[in-house]
Structure 1
Amino acid sequence: MSEKRPRLDARVESLAADARREAERRLAAGERSRLSRLFFSPALHFLRAYFFGRGVLKGMVGFVDARMEGLASFVTEAAHVQMAKGAQGPAPGGQIPGFGGARLPLAATIICRNEKNYIKKCVESLDGFDEIIIVDSGSTDGTPDILRGFVARGWPIKLIERGWPGYARQKQFAWEQATRDWVLSIDSDEWLDDDLRRALPALLAAPQDVVGWKLRRPLAFYGQEQVAPKGARPERITRLARRDKVRFDESALVHEGLVADGRILEAGQGFLRHDRALRIDAQIMKEMNYARLKAEQRVLRGKTPSRLRIVVNPWLYFLRIFFINRVYLYGIDGYILARTRAAYSFFGEALHWRLSQENERL
């Protein structure tokens, strides 16, 4: 791409802001959201830009531009749909099941920055844990004050304030501060539901050859407190493990995960809940941030970009999320989620291609 062109992440920021303003204008004018526009308008914008706008003559640059036109339309229509439906705040926490008056021999690790809207519910779901390690990387919204309030009430919290070295390194640092044999890595906008808390003693009593557990995390949708439909597939992520048998892959810039030295089983009871479901104009910026890190990681690892992947992978990603992962069971919310995940795939492939081109010119 020409150096005079704005970077892809700057273009996404601009289209997200434009989409939000347009959706707000429509609502103020009393315009109703239309699902037909959500389904068909993005494709029409792409075709118009690619063929009638002569993007087809510009090669991959023209294709990327046309996809961005279609994406801008999708974000606008999705924002209109979501704003029209309205949003609910995070559900308040209920009575936390205890562990018979004793502390559970388990540590939890959390990394955070500016999480005042979520951290209280997360920490409360850890009531009864023997140790809670929280690493804050410069919060300015009062998050540390909330945590110090827990400490003043006798909670076993060790609060560490530390600069930001990246997701994997920060999580690994927090993991290394734990002293218990079993450790739970939990995000600041997640919390344990009652059934999962009740299951913890049995999980910790696993045979020695079991080094960790995959926890089930259901999907979260903006503004909707949904019960997962029958047949829906929650995510399964390794979060509970023996401290000295797993580690975070510190070479990963994004989608960091625990690497285990041993057998991992799936916990079949309870859920790791997730509160943060952003509106589409904010979520698309989050997807861009993750995609940029993914593209940079690919370049660092010497992977070669592919024009074919730019064209094909987003649609394959959508089909996998929508049908194989069964998010179609969630209706229009599932469709928006699958299209948003497909945008992440497109961003990652397009940024990988551009970064590789820039490196070749150096």
Structure 2
Amino acid sequence: MHDSQPRLDAQVAKDAAAARREAGRRLAAGKKPSLMRLALNPSLVFLRVYLGEGWLLRGTRGYIRARAAQLASFLTEATHFQMATGARSPAPNSAADIPAFQGATLPLSATIICKNEGGYIEKCVASLDGFAEIVVVDSGSTDATLDILRGFIARGWPIKLVERDWLGYAKQKQFAWEQATRDWVLSIDSDEWLDDDLRRELPALLAAPDEVVGWRLRRPLAFYGQLNVPPKDAKPERIIRLARREKVRFDESALVHEGLVADGRVLEASRGLLRHDRALRIDEQILKEATYACLKAQQRILRGKKPSLLKLVVNPPLYFLRIFFLNRVFLYWIDGYILARTRAAYSFIGEALHYQLSQDGGRRA
């Protein structure tokens, strides 16, 4: 045994690829997934590595090593389960039948940032029919994204397309926000879309009293490898996305999980959903989680925060319990369990990378 360890985000990428290969091998051999293996094997792997292989004696590094092995086991079992049940990333949308714009009915701007979102952006933009203005800031798409957007423009859609180098999540979204001209603005991701109930609710939201500067919209958690409508009893996230242009701004110091900061009263919309279309399978989703976790760790270091062993140990299981029970994703049974465990994995990766980057002086790979 030795102390050298790869950075955790790099290790997760290797483990995700290995999980995909192993799950494929199992399926080819006719082996069925097991709920018992999904629930128990990762914990058994942790105990074997941490206690049996002696990583307990290596302090924080040893704990991270054992938890990383646990995560690799979970990825294998979860990928096996999802591949066996046909879970996969959504098929790209077709841009063949983009409708003509029917005319603005809402004094409302929308802002979108994107790069290589050809599989999703058509559904996003189509759900904005009736908006007075749609600002799209593209940062160098090489797929069909720009062709799809230009197809909308050719059919009369009020799209203001701006091509600009990537500035980072918060700065790019703030730049897009500043290009909008209407009093009320909706910030929407390129893989999100408004359901019919939320579209019908928009006129009432825009008629809010002057002291109301924004609305938190309800966004259900996306379950990996599927696009099913969530059970009505599942608790959605509530995030500020609709606001008065001059009363909010993005926190440009945030490297990830950028959000609107409001100067005034913000209410919660009670009807409709902001749907999320990118239901990636777990072996793909975990790569995004690792990327976001790395940005979060770097952000903490830039803000002078030190890593915490207590957070490394306690935060991931608390995150699991919050998602599984408070967000009521247990209603999804196995799919909900996988989602909650993956969110806990994000928490672990973030705390572990905070430690690793601090040891390495905060340098990037």
- Report TM bin, short chain: over 0.9
- How many Å separate the matches in 1 of 2:36 and 2:140? 44
91 and 159 in structure 1: CA distance in 2 versus 1, 3 angstrom threshold: closer
The secondary structure found in structure 2 opposite 1:169 is helix
What's the CA shift for 1:58? Answer: 1.2
Task: Indicate yes or no: 2:189 matched with 1:177.
Answer: no
The secondary structure found in structure 2 opposite 1:48 is helix
Partner of residue 18, structure 2: 18
CA deviations over 1:101-144 (Å, ceiling 9, x no partner): 64311000000011000000000000111100000111111211
- How many Å separate the matches in 1 of 2:83 and 2:44? 23
Q: Is the 8 A contact 2:136 2:162 kept in 1?
A: yes
The 5 Å alignment of 1:190-201 reads 190-201=192-203
CA deviations over 1:212-271 (Å, ceiling 9, x no partner): 111111122123343322421011111000000000000000100000001111111111
Partner of residue 52, structure 1: 52
Task: Indicate yes or no: 2:259 matched with 1:242.
Answer: no
Q: Is the 8 A contact 2:216 2:266 kept in 1?
A: yes
The secondary structure found in structure 1 opposite 2:354 is helix
Partner of residue 314, structure 2: 312
What's the CA shift for 1:345? Answer: 0.6
The 5 Å alignment of 1:84-233 reads 84-87=84-87, 89=90, 102-233=104-235
The 5 Å alignment of 1:216-295 reads 216-295=218-297
CA deviations over 1:52-89 (Å, ceiling 9, x no partner): 11111111111111111111000000000111111373
- How many Å separate the matches in 2 of 1:337 and 1:350? 20
Partner of residue 41, structure 1: 41
Aligned length in residues: 358
Letter of the 1:70 counterpart: Q
For structure 1, the 5+ residue unaligned runs are none
Q: Is the 8 A contact 2:112 2:136 kept in 1?
A: yes
Q: Is the 8 A contact 2:102 2:129 kept in 1?
A: no
The secondary structure found in structure 2 opposite 1:265 is strand
What's the CA shift for 1:360? Answer: 9.0
For structure 2, the 5+ residue unaligned runs are none
Partner of residue 32, structure 1: 32
- How many Å separate the matches in 2 of 1:360 and 1:298? 10
The secondary structure found in structure 2 opposite 1:359 is coil
Partner of residue 80, structure 2: 80
Partner of residue 69, structure 1: 69
Q: Is the 8 A contact 1:90 1:275 kept in 2?
A: no
Letter of the 1:342 counterpart: A
- How many Å separate the matches in 2 of 1:280 and 1:149? 33
Partner of residue 345, structure 1: 347
82 and 360 in structure 1: CA distance in 2 versus 1, 3 angstrom threshold: closer
Q: Is the 8 A contact 1:195 1:271 kept in 2?
A: yes
- How many Å separate the matches in 1 of 2:185 and 2:252? 18
- How many Å separate the matches in 2 of 1:209 and 1:299? 37
Letter of the 2:280 counterpart: L
CA deviations over 1:143-170 (Å, ceiling 9, x no partner): 1111011111111001111111100000
The secondary structure found in structure 1 opposite 2:361 is helix
CA RMSD in angstroms comes to: 2.2
117 and 37 in structure 1: CA distance in 2 versus 1, 3 angstrom threshold: same
